[in-house]
């Protein structure tokens, strides 16, 4: 969204200081990483593990129009460009997100609303697993009819939501906002910024229990999304998950259910040789044949959630199917890579919890094998499971054994596997020579960094 720097400073309660030769002109969009700044954007100098104020000069060198800072001068003297000085950059980002959201409604300083009634197509997506894939699928579906913006990758927190909203261009007709939570009140805070009119809840699982608590607390945290929907909005809920289905009693919005027994469901599901599901999409909008662009039988449920929103918003069923057939944008999720003369690699390295780990093992077991090849799962830690961690890792190891999948554990002794290495950099050497009949799954939580193993394993000429 585009703002005049002086007007933005006033709305944020900031002090505008003009440094260098620049004045207080227009800023268009937001960046929080100086390496990713695009010309004209506002750079927010956040302080976390590294102090963002140390990178303000780099941001201006990359074309930033202004910077959001907490200090009146830089580490080497006056700032080299216009800055908006605020007591807290994080608080200012939340205020900026609310301004950008108002702009989408046509009630703020930027943006154009829909016939003067505000943007009714702001979709919040949450759940223990499947958020990012559902968000990507839904963005593909809505883009078949509307000018659509969506959260990048898994940018789903108090920083990611402002980034998505502030970078929505003028003329945006639909927005898909992924919403994560680390505890009670987190999604409520994101809803106060994004004001979603439609809420999607994928599933509630025992993920991040170390910080989120038991599953009933996780459900209450995710429920905050549907609690904040307007009466003329829509709650899209998983009919199969009782914790999600029960959220229907906690929203004033009408409910549209998906999954087995739901109003939007799949029939005759089959996987092709690339693990992509074919099925008949059934709903009150009529039957439609779908061939997914994303892999894994478990992603049928995510596709149904995306389809439900698209159908309700008036996307033609054939266009819904076309959107679902596109590959999702986020990396390291069920990427099937075939190494010439070597193995088939299923790279699902982005993250891992018990539910997604079980789904990935089922997927690798379902891959057709032309010969008597090996099936190997290179598994990293499933983080933040607290006291349940050891039992959950053993359960995954038992499932792998049942499916005939060998486990190579990376930096984690919880699987009980005798085959272990210390880090992702040791994986290729441990696997040794693999042939075209072999299949390798790569999966673990972010702390494992297993995308490095996937890259090394599929590197040409390795």
The domain segmentation of the chain, as residue ranges, is 2-86, 120-324, 335-458
CATH of 120-324, one of 3.40.1390.30, 3.40.640.10, 3.40.50.720, 3.40.1190.10: 3.40.1190.10
**May I ask the CATH architecture of the domain 2-86?**
3-Layer(aba) Sandwich (3.40)
Q: How far apart are CA 142 and CA 121, in angstroms?
A: 9
Taking Cα atoms as reference points, which of 196, 159, 160, 191 lies closest to residue 176? 196
How many other C-beta atoms are found inside a 10 Å radius of the C-beta of residue 39?
10
- Superfamily for domain range 335-458: Mur ligase, C-terminal domain (3.90.190.20)
Reference 401, options 371, 434, 365, 359; nearest CA is 365
The Cβ of residue 107 has, within 10 Å, a number of other Cβ atoms equal to 13
Helix (H, G, I), strand (E, B) or coil at 270: strand
Among 228, 221, 227, 186, which Cα is nearest to 207's? 221
Residue 461, Ramachandran bin (φ over 0: left; ψ between -120 and 50: alpha; else beta) = left
Distance CA(304)–CA(323), nearest Å, equals: 12
Q: Which residues contact 459 (CB under 8 A, 6 or more apart)?
A: none
Tens place of pLDDT for every residue, the chain, 462 residues? 788 999 999 999 999 998 654 445 789 999 999 999 999 999 999 988 889 999 999 999 999 999 999 999 988 889 999 999 999 999 999 999 999 999 887 544 433 333 333 567 999 999 999 999 999 999 999 999 999 999 988 889 999 999 999 999 988 999 999 999 888 999 999 999 999 999 999 999 876 666 677 899 999 999 999 999 999 999 999 999 999 999 999 999 999 999 999 999 999 999 998 999 999 999 999 999 999 999 999 999 999 999 999 999 999 999 999 999 998 767 778 899 988 888 999 999 988 889 899 999 999 998 876 667 899 999 999 998 988 899 999 999 999 999 999 999 999 999 999 999 999 999 999 999 999 999 999 999 988 999 999 999 998 765
- CA dihedral sign, ordered 410, 416, 417, 422: positive
2-86 with 335-458: one CATH topology?
no
Cβ atoms 79, 17 nearer than 8 A = yes
Residue 377 sits at φ, ψ, to 5 deg, of: -110, 115
CA-CA distance, 295 to 281, in Å (whole number)?
A: 17
Tokens 């053993």, located at residue: 394
Instruction: Check: pTM over 0.75? Answer yes or no.
Output: yes
In the chain, how many H helices and how many E strands?
A: 15, 22
- The SS3 of residue 450 is coil
Q: Where are the alpha helices (DSSP H) in 257-332?
A: 299-312, 317-324
């Amino acid at each position: 969204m585009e703002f005049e720097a002086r007007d933005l400073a006033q709305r944020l309660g900031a002090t505008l200081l003009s440094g260098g030769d620049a004045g207080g002109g227009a800023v268009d969009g937001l960046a929080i990483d100086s390496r990713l700044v695009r010309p004209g954007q506002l750079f927010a100098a956040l302080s976390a593990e590294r102090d963002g104020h140390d990178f303000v000069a780099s941001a201006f060198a990359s074309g930033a129009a202004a910077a959001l800072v907490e200090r009146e001068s830089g580490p080497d003297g006056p700032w080299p460009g216009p800055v908006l000085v605020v007591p807290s950059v994080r608080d200012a980002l939340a205020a900026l997100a609310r301004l950008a959201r108002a702009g989408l409604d046509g009630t703020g300083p930027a943006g154009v609303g829909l016939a003067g009634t505000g943007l009714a197509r702001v979709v919040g997506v949450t759940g223990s697993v499947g958020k990012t894939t559902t968000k990507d699928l839904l963005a593909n579906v809505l883009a078949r009819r509307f000018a659509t913006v969506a959260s990048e990758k898994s940018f789903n927190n108090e920083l990611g939501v402002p980034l998505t909203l502030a970078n929505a261009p003028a003329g945006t007709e639909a927005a898909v906002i992924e919403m994560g939570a680390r505890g009670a009140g987190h999604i409520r805070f994101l809803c106060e910024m994004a004001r979603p009119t439609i809420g999607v809840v994928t599933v509630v699982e025992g993920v991040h229990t170390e910080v989120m608590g038991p599953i009933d607390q996780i459900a209450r945290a995710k429920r905050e999304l549907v609690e904040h929907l307007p009466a003329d909005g829509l709650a899209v809920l998983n009919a199969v998950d009782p914790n999600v289905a029960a959220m229907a009693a906690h929203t004033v919005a009408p409910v549209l259910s998906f999954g087995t027994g739901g109003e939007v469901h799949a029939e005759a599901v089959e996987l092709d040789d690339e693990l992509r599901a074919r099925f008949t999409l059934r709903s009150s909008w009529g039957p439609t044949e779908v061939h997914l662009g994303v892999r894994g039988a478990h992603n049928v449920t995510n596709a149904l959630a995306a389809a439900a929103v698209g159908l309700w918003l008036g996307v033609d069923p054939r266009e819904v199917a076309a959107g679902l057939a596109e590959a999702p944008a986020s990396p390291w999720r069920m990427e099937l890579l075939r190494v010439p003369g070597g193995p088939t690699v299923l790279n699902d390295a982005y993250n891992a919890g018990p539910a997604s780990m079980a789904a990935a093992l089922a997927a690798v077991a379902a891959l057709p094998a032309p010969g008597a090849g090996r099936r190997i799962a290179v598994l990293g830690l499933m983080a933040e499971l607290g006291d349940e961690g050891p039992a959950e890792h053993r359960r995954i190891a038992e499932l792998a054994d049942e499916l005939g999948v060998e486990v190579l554990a990376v930096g984690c002794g919880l699987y009980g596997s005798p085959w272990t290495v210390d880090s992702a950099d040791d994986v290729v050497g441990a696997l040794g020579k693999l042939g075209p009949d072999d299949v390798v799954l790569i999966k673990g939580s972010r702390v494992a960094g297993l995308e490095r193993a996937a890259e090394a394993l599929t590197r040409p000429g390795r």
